[in-house]
Structure 1
Amino acid sequence: MTLIKSISGIRGTIGGTVGDNLTPIDTVKFAAAYGTWIKSQRTKENYRVVVGRDARISGAMVQNLVMNTLIGMGIDVIDLDLSTTPTVEIAVPLEHADGGIILTASHNPKQWNALKLLDHNGEFLNAEHSQRVLDIAAADAMEFADVDDLGTITENQAYFDIHIDEVLDLEFVNVKAISDCNFKVVVDAVNSTGGIAIPLLLERLGVEAVKIHCEPNGQFPHNPEPLKQHLTDLSEKVVSSHADFGIAVDPDVDRLAFMDEKGVMFGEEYTLVACADYILSQRPGNTVSNLSSTRALRDVTEKHGGTYTASAVGEVNVVNAMKATNAVIGGEGNGGIIYPESHYGRDALVGVALFLSLLAERKIAVSELRASYPSYFMSKKKIDLNPSIDVDAILVAMEAKYAHEQISTIDGVKIDFASEWVHLRKSNTEAIIRIYTEAPSQEKADVLADKIIDEIKKVAGL
C-alpha cells in the first residue's frame, strides 16, 4: 500500500517497507517535519504540541514514536492519550499550544493509522502549510535539540470532561429540556474512543445510554465507517431495546450518524441538515457544506432565510468558506458537524447535543423528524480510465457540454440541474473520475450517474 501524503495528513498501513507504508521510520520522519514546521512559524523560547489518539491497535506505538520525536526536537508535549479528534482540536488553544497531532485513520480499517496535523488554532493545516511539511520531510531538513534542550511530556487526562463541559455550556444546548425527556439511546462506537466520550456526554445530559461496541480496544467489530450496511447490530439493538434512536460514530468521533426508533438509518447526509435546522431556528444565518453534500441543507437554510454556500471538498475548505460567509453552522455530508460557537472542526459530541436539543424542543419521533425534510437520494460511482487519457480535458469537455446549466468548477465539475445534480472529481493518485449524483429518487440518481458515465466514455473515446 502506498503511503498517502495529502492536505489532510500522513496516512498509511502499519508494517511493510519504509516509504511504502506508515512504518516507524516514516512516522518519525513526518513527526520531525511537522515539528520543524512548528518551529518555523514563530520564534520563541518554548514550543508545545498536543497529542492524542483513537483506540486503534497501533495507536500507542505510533503515539510514543511521535511524542518522543517531538521532545527530541525540544518541543514540549501535552499527552491526552486516548482522545478524539475534536477533543484535541479544543485542547490546542486551551493549552496555548503551537499545534496538535491526532493519531487516527478515521474510518479506515484497523491496519491503517495516520498523523492529522493541526495549527495553533486547533484547525487542520491549510494546503500551503501541509505542502511545507511534506517538503521538509522530502528534503530531510530537520534539526534535533541538544541534550540540555530536550522537550518534556506532560499527561493530561481531563480533556474528555473539559470537552463535555464546553458542549454543555453552548447557548443552544438545552440540557434541562433534554433531561426532562428521559431519552434512551443506543451507542455504537466501533470499540474506539467514542465509547468513552459519547456515553459520558449522554450521562451528563440525563440520557440513558445502551452501549454496544464501546470498549476502546481497537478491535473494530465491523467496518468502522458509519454507513447503513455496517450498522446492523445497532439497528437490531435500537429495536430490541425500544430506544428512541441510535448513535454511530467513527473511530475518532468527528463523524456522526443516527438511526431512528424503527432501526432505520436517518441518513448520514441528514445529520448536518437536522443540526442546522435547529441552529437556524434559534439564530438565522448562513450555512456551508461541500459540493458533494445533499441539497437538503440548501433547502433548509433558505427556509430559514439564510444563504447556503458550497465549498470544495475537504474540511479545511469548508471551514474557510464558513469564515468567509460568517456561517452559523456547516460541515460535510459524511456526518461532520462544524459549529463555530464551539470550534472550527467536525465534532460528533456537539452534533449529538444539538440533535437531542432539537428532539426535546419538537417532541417528535426521529422518524417523524426525518420525514419533515426534503428527500434526496445519492449515487456514488466511478469510472477507471487509461493513464494516458487527459482527465482534465474530459472535465473541460463535460463543463462545455452543460454550459447552459449552473456550473461550479472550484473542485472538479459540478452541474446543478433543476431537481438533481452531478459532481465529477478526478483522483489525485489514479486515472479515475468519481461521479456523485443526487436526485429525488434512488432510481433517478442511478440513471443520471450512468448517463454521465456513458457521456464520459464517449468523450474519452472508450
Structure 2
Amino acid sequence: MSLIKSISGIRGTIGGKVAENLTPIDAVKFAAAYGMWLKNQSEKENLTVVIGRDARISGEMVSNLVSNTLIGLGINVTDLGLSTTPTVEVAVTLSDADGGIIITASHNPKQWNALKLLNGKGEFLNAEDGELVLKIAEEDSYVFAEVDFLGIYKKEEGFINKHIDEVLALALVDIEAIQKAKFKVVVDAVNSTGGIAVPALLEKLNVECVKLYCEPNGLFPHNPEPLKEHLTDISELVVKENADFGIVVDPDVDRLAIVCEDGSMFGEEYTLVACADYVLGKTKGNTVSNLSSSRALKDITEKHGGNYQASAVGEVNVVTLMKETNAIIGGEGNGGIIYPESHYGRDSLVGIAIFLSHLAHLKISCKQLRESYPDYFMSKNKIELTPEIDVDSVLEKIALKYKDEEVNSIDGIKINFETEWVHLRKSNTEPIIRIYTESTSQEKADELANKLVEDIKKSL
C-alpha cells in the first residue's frame, strides 16, 4: 500500500516497508517536518503543540513517536490522550498553542492511521503551508535540540468536557428546549472516542442515551465509515429501543450520520442540510459545501434567502471558501458540520447539539423532518487504483467524452446534467477514484454511477 502524503498530513497502513506504509520511521520523519515548519515560521522561543488520538490500536504507538520527535526538536507537547479531532482543534485555541496533530485515520479501517496537521488557529494547514511541510520531509532538513533545550511533555485531561461546554454555550443551542423534549437516542461510536464524547454531551442535555459500540478500545465492530450498509446493527436497535433516532459518528468524531426512528437512514448528506436549515432559520447568511455534496443544501439555502457556493473537496477548501463568502454554516456531505460560531472545523458534537435543537423546536419526528427536505438520491462508488493508472489522463478522457455538458474541473471532474450530476476525483485519503452521483431516484443515481464506472474502465 502506498503511503499517502497530502497538504493536510500523512496517512498509511501500519507496518511494512519504510516510505511505502506508515512505519515508525515515516511517523517520526513527518512529525519532524511539521515541527521544523512550526519553528521556521514562528519567532517564539517556546512552542507548544497539542496532540490527541482516536482509539485505534496503533494510536498510542504513533502518538508516542510523534510526541518524542517534537520534544527532540525542543517543542513542548500537550497530550490530550484519547480525544476527538474537533476537540484537539478547540484545544489548540483554548490553550493558546502553536499547532496541533491528531493521530487518526478518520473513517479508514483499523490497519490505517494518520497524522492530521493543524495551525495555531486549530485549523488544517492551507495548501502553501502543507507544501512546505512536504518539502521539509523530502529534504530531511531537520535540526534537533541540544539536551538542555528539549521540549516539555505534559498530559492534560478534561478537554472533551471543555469542548462540550463550548458547544453548550453556543447561542443557537437551546438547552432548555432539548431537555424538555426528553429525547431517547441510540449512539454507535464504532468503539472509538465518540463513545466518550457523545454520551457525555447527551447527559448534559438530559437525553437518554442507549450505547452501542461505545467502548473506546479500537476494535471496530464494523467498517467505520458511517454508510448505510455498515449501520444495520444501530438501525435494528433504534427500532427495538423505541428511540427517537440514532446517532453515528466515525472514529475521530468529525462525521455525523443520523438514523430515523423506523431504522431508515436520515442520510449523511442530509445531516448538514438539517443543521443548516435550523441555523439559517435563526440567522440569515450563506452556506458552502464541496462539489461532492448534495444539491439539497443549495435548495435550503436559497429558500432562506442565502447564497450557496461549492468548493473543491477537502475541509481546508471548504473553510477557505466559507471565509471568503462569510458563510455562517457549511461542511461536507459526508456528515461534516462546520459552524464558525464554534470553530472552523467539522464537529459532530456541534452537529448533534444543533440537530437536537432543531427537532426540539419543530416538535416533529426525525422521519418527518427528513421528509420535509428535497428528495435527492446519491450513489457513492470507487475504483481501486494501481500504480500504473494515470488518473489525470483518465479524467481528461471522461471530460472530453462529455464536453457538451456543463463540466467543472476545479477538483477532478464534475459533470452537471439537467436533473443529475456525477463527480469523479482521486481520493486524498485512499488509493481510489471516487465516483459520486446524484439524481431524482436511487435507481437513476445507480445507473449513472454504473455508466461512469464503465466509461472509466474503457479509458484505462
TM-score (norm 2): 0.95
Provide the C-alpha distance between the structure 2 equivalents of 1:128 and 1:451, rounded to a whole number of angstroms. 37
Secondary structure of the 2:170 match is coil
Tell me which amino acid in the other structure corresponds to 1:14: I
Alignment correspondent of 1:59 = 59
Conserved 8 A contact 2:99-2:121: yes
Conserved 8 A contact 2:278-2:354: yes
Conserved 8 A contact 2:15-2:22: yes
Provide the C-alpha distance between the structure 2 equivalents of 1:431 and 1:89, rounded to a whole number of angstroms. 27
Conserved 8 A contact 2:301-2:308: yes
Provide the C-alpha distance between the structure 1 equivalents of 2:216 and 2:391, rounded to a whole number of angstroms. 43
Name the CA shift for 1:408/1:11 in 2 (closer, same or farther; >3 Å).
Answer: same
Alignment correspondent of 1:339 = 339
Alignment correspondent of 1:241 = 241
Name the CA shift for 1:362/1:221 in 2 (closer, same or farther; >3 Å).
Answer: same
Tell me which amino acid in the other structure corresponds to 1:274: A
Alignment correspondent of 1:255 = 255
Tell me which amino acid in the other structure corresponds to 2:167: V
Which deviations, in whole Å up to 9, do the C-alpha atoms of 1:126-174 show, x marking residues without a partner?
A: 1221121122112111111011101101221121111001000101000
Name the CA shift for 1:73/1:326 in 2 (closer, same or farther; >3 Å).
Answer: same
Provide the C-alpha distance between the structure 2 equivalents of 1:185 and 1:301, rounded to a whole number of angstroms. 28
Secondary structure of the 1:247 match is strand
Secondary structure of the 1:349 match is helix
Name the CA shift for 1:2/1:362 in 2 (closer, same or farther; >3 Å).
Answer: same
Name the CA shift for 1:272/1:76 in 2 (closer, same or farther; >3 Å).
Answer: same
The correspondence of residues 13-32 of structure 1 with structure 2, limited to 5 A, is 13-32=13-32
Conserved 8 A contact 1:387-1:431: no
| 1:455 Cα deviation from its structure 2 partner | 5.0
Conserved 8 A contact 1:287-1:327: yes
Conserved 8 A contact 2:188-2:212: yes
Alignment correspondent of 2:208 = 208
| 1:396 Cα deviation from its structure 2 partner | 4.2
Which deviations, in whole Å up to 9, do the C-alpha atoms of 1:46-76 show, x marking residues without a partner?
A: 1010010111111111111111111111101
Alignment correspondent of 1:141 = 141
Name the CA shift for 1:243/1:52 in 2 (closer, same or farther; >3 Å).
Answer: same
TM-score (norm 1): 0.95
1:294 aligns with 2:299: no
Provide the C-alpha distance between the structure 2 equivalents of 1:237 and 1:450, rounded to a whole number of angstroms. 33
Provide the C-alpha distance between the structure 1 equivalents of 2:386 and 2:153, rounded to a whole number of angstroms. 50
| 1:82 Cα deviation from its structure 2 partner | 0.8
Q: Matched residue pairs, number?
A: 460
Provide the C-alpha distance between the structure 1 equivalents of 2:152 and 2:314, rounded to a whole number of angstroms. 34
Provide the C-alpha distance between the structure 2 equivalents of 1:121 and 1:70, rounded to a whole number of angstroms. 19
The correspondence of residues 56-95 of structure 1 with structure 2, limited to 5 A, is 56-95=56-95
Which deviations, in whole Å up to 9, do the C-alpha atoms of 1:262-317 show, x marking residues without a partner?
A: 11111111110100111011112111111011111111111111111010011111
Alignment correspondent of 1:277 = 277
Provide the C-alpha distance between the structure 1 equivalents of 2:83 and 2:431, rounded to a whole number of angstroms. 37
1:48 aligns with 2:48: yes
Tell me which amino acid in the other structure corresponds to 1:153: Y
Name the CA shift for 1:453/1:112 in 2 (closer, same or farther; >3 Å).
Answer: closer
Name the CA shift for 1:97/1:385 in 2 (closer, same or farther; >3 Å).
Answer: closer
Provide the C-alpha distance between the structure 2 equivalents of 1:378 and 1:313, rounded to a whole number of angstroms. 16
Structure 1 stretch 19-28 or stretch 396-405: which is displaced more? 396-405
Tell me which amino acid in the other structure corresponds to 1:88: V
Provide the C-alpha distance between the structure 2 equivalents of 1:269 and 1:129, rounded to a whole number of angstroms. 30
Name the CA shift for 1:346/1:448 in 2 (closer, same or farther; >3 Å).
Answer: same
Conserved 8 A contact 1:406-1:417: yes
Name the CA shift for 1:21/1:390 in 2 (closer, same or farther; >3 Å).
Answer: closer
Name the CA shift for 1:420/1:191 in 2 (closer, same or farther; >3 Å).
Answer: same
Secondary structure of the 2:178 match is helix
| 1:383 Cα deviation from its structure 2 partner | 5.7
Conserved 8 A contact 2:7-2:134: no
Tell me which amino acid in the other structure corresponds to 1:327: A
Secondary structure of the 2:56 match is coil
Alignment correspondent of 1:172 = 172
Conserved 8 A contact 1:88-1:122: yes
Provide the C-alpha distance between the structure 2 equivalents of 1:157 and 1:455, rounded to a whole number of angstroms. 52
| 1:325 Cα deviation from its structure 2 partner | 0.7
Structure 1 stretch 411-420 or stretch 66-75: which is displaced more? 411-420
| 1:446 Cα deviation from its structure 2 partner | 2.0
Conserved 8 A contact 2:4-2:429: no
| 1:447 Cα deviation from its structure 2 partner | 2.1
Conserved 8 A contact 2:11-2:429: no
1:322 aligns with 2:322: yes
Name the CA shift for 1:65/1:457 in 2 (closer, same or farther; >3 Å).
Answer: closer
Secondary structure of the 2:327 match is coil
Name the CA shift for 1:48/1:427 in 2 (closer, same or farther; >3 Å).
Answer: closer
Provide the C-alpha distance between the structure 1 equivalents of 2:158 and 2:361, rounded to a whole number of angstroms. 31
Name the CA shift for 1:328/1:148 in 2 (closer, same or farther; >3 Å).
Answer: same
Alignment correspondent of 2:303 = 303
User: Identity of counterpart residues, as a percentage?
Assistant: 70
Secondary structure of the 1:328 match is strand
Alignment correspondent of 1:159 = 159
Alignment correspondent of 2:361 = 361
Name the CA shift for 1:453/1:352 in 2 (closer, same or farther; >3 Å).
Answer: same
Secondary structure of the 1:210 match is strand
Which deviations, in whole Å up to 9, do the C-alpha atoms of 1:12-39 show, x marking residues without a partner?
A: 1222222222121111111111100110
Point out where structure 1 has 5 or more consecutive residues left out of the alignment: none
Name the CA shift for 1:214/1:456 in 2 (closer, same or farther; >3 Å).
Answer: closer
Conserved 8 A contact 1:394-1:456: yes
Conserved 8 A contact 2:86-2:345: yes
Tell me which amino acid in the other structure corresponds to 1:357: S
| 1:417 Cα deviation from its structure 2 partner | 2.2
Name the CA shift for 1:229/1:340 in 2 (closer, same or farther; >3 Å).
Answer: same
Provide the C-alpha distance between the structure 2 equivalents of 1:82 and 1:391, rounded to a whole number of angstroms. 37
Which deviations, in whole Å up to 9, do the C-alpha atoms of 1:371-417 show, x marking residues without a partner?
A: 11111111233567997786545544544554554332211221222
Alignment correspondent of 1:415 = 415
Secondary structure of the 1:271 match is helix
| 1:444 Cα deviation from its structure 2 partner | 1.0
